[in-house]
């Protein structure tokens, strides 16, 4: 009897079934874990609750401009977007703790759209939402055309998919980046924020990006979550940066990675915010104020060790962390990376994540 279904159709059905099983398994695994496995109820955190700020620099060192997107919908796809709250909040407090006042701008000015991912929220992010001064600044962001560029020592471009649509062609952004880079002021950007570097020309007519070491959200990261990204975005950011002459620094998928080329500081994804913000402080000539490393950062460190040195060394790192604090890393983030590896068909690595979780629970 002839097979009723073509082989290609059977293969697609099998792949789809495997994906569904994997996703179902991950959600089941997460359901077994406490909702706040590493934290108390942080939603009421106030800025004054952040020990980091209370021990920060008291002297006034100047101002840094943070720029967020004004785009709320991804082109014709209809998908909502905006700036990523965590990418603004964490950098905002690094700058403040190190003596810098932060102003917030956007291409259109006014209240910009925001993306809040509940799974990623930590005490700094909730503190930002409860920070009256910060919220007034966000709700009344300065239009880029009205920014007095002479007031700031540095600029930081916040990520969020909306940046892909309104950063690259904004004349005020291009002018500010060119001016700051050539005058030695610090230019920082993270995730999709480096879209602000696209199409920037220096006074000699060359592209800013020519031969510069930069990082940003990678093609692999973009296409993993949005397979039709090429149809939604005007371009893939890694491709565009490379086309304009950048030496693109690719880190591990969804792990922290920061690239610095003189006064140009860029980060790959949301987990790179701390690295970018503190590197900007160093480039400004100051030693960053010490802070307690977050559980999320420790987890990213475990995952980086796993990628570069293998599972045994990752277990060693977990043991050292557990010896100091049983909640020193975020188990939920390990579960998330179980899915990330699975979505890349790296099933062996997915199994290794489960082995690390089991190891942590038994030590």
pLDDT tens-digit map of 302-343: 999 999 999 999 999 999 999 988 778 898 899 999 999 999
Q: Percentage of the chain with pLDDT > 70?
A: 89
Q: Where on the phi/psi map is residue 205: left (φ > 0), alpha (ψ -120 to 50), or beta?
A: left
- Chosen CATH of 55-283 out of 1.10.10.10, 3.40.50.880, 3.40.50.1970, 1.20.120.160: 3.40.50.880
On the question of pLDDT at 34 being above 70, the answer is: no
Give the pLDDT of residue 30. Answer: 53
On the question of pLDDT at 5 being above 70, the answer is: no
Least confident of 32-36, 79-83, 208-212, 284-288: 32-36
pLDDT tens by residue, 250-278: 999 999 999 999 999 999 999 999 999 99
Please state, in angstroms and rounded to a whole number, the distance separating the CA atoms of residues 315 and 2: 52
Please state, in angstroms and rounded to a whole number, the distance separating the CA atoms of residues 29 and 15: 21
Please check whether residue 105 is in contact with residue 142, taking contact to mean a CB–CB distance below 8 angstroms.
Answer: yes
- The full DSSP string for 48-103 is GG-HHHHTS--S--EEEEEE-----B-GGG--B--EEHHHHHHHHHHHHHTTEEEE
Give the pLDDT of residue 119. Answer: 81
Q: How confident is the model at residue 352 (pLDDT cuts 50, 70, 90)?
A: very high
Measured in degrees and rounded to the nearest 5, phi and psi for residue 15 equal: -65, -45
Where do the domains of the chain lie? Answer: 23-38+293-361, 55-283
- Give the closest residue to 50 by CA, choosing from 127, 137, 134: 127
Give the pLDDT of residue 4. Answer: 47
How open is the CA angle 265-161-130, to the nearest 5 degrees?
80
Please state, in angstroms and rounded to a whole number, the distance separating the CA atoms of residues 131 and 15: 47
More confident residue, 8 or 138: 138
pLDDT tens by residue, 98-109: 999 999 999 999
Q: How confident is the model at residue 362 (pLDDT cuts 50, 70, 90)?
A: confident
Give the pLDDT of residue 216. Answer: 98
């Amino acid at each position: 009897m002839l097979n009723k279904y073509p082989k290609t159709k059977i293969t697609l059905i099998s792949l789809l079934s495997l994906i569904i099983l994997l996703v179902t398994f991950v959600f089941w695994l997460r359901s077994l874990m406490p909702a706040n496995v590493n934290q108390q109820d942080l939603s009421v955190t106030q800025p004054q609750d952040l020990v980091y700020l209370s021990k920060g620099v008291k002297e006034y060192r100047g101002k840094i401009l943070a720029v967020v997107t004004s785009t709320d919908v991804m082109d014709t796809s209809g998908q909502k977007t905006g700036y990523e709250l965590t990418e603004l909040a964490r950098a905002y407090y690094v700058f403040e703790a190190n003596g810098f006042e932060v102003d917030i701008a956007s291409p259109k000015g006014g209240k910009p759209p925001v993306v809040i991912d509940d799974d990623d929220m930590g005490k700094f992010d909730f503190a930002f939402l409860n920070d009256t001064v910060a919220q007034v600044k966000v709700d009344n962001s300065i239009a880029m055309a009205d920014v007095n560029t002479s007031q700031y020592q540095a600029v930081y471009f916040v990520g969020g998919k909306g940046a892909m649509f309104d950063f690259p062609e904004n004349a005020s952004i291009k002018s500010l980046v060119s001016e700051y880079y050539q005058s030695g002021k610090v230019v920082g950007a993270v995730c999709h924020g480096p879209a602000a570097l696209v199409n920037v020309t220096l006074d000699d007519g060359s592209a800013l990006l020519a031969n510069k070491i930069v990082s940003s959200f990678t093609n692999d990261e973009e296409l993993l979550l949005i397979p039709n990204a090429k149809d939604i975005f005007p371009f893939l950011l890694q491709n565009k940066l490379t086309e304009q002459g950048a030496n693109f620094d690719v880190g591990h998928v969804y792990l922290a990675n920061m690239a610095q080329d003189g006064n140009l500081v860029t980060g790959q994804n949301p987990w790179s915010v701390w690295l970018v913000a503190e590197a900007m402080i160093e480039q400004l000539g100051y030693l960053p104020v010490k802070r307690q490393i977050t559980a999320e950062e420790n987890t990213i460190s475990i995952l980086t060790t796993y990628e570069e040195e293998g599972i045994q060394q990752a277990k060693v790192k977990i043991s050292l962390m557990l010896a100091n604090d049983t909640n020193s890393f975020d188990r939920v983030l390990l579960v998330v990376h179980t899915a990330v590896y699975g979505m890349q068909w790296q099933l062996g690595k997915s199994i290794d994540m489960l082995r690390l979780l089991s190891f942590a629970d038994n030590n």
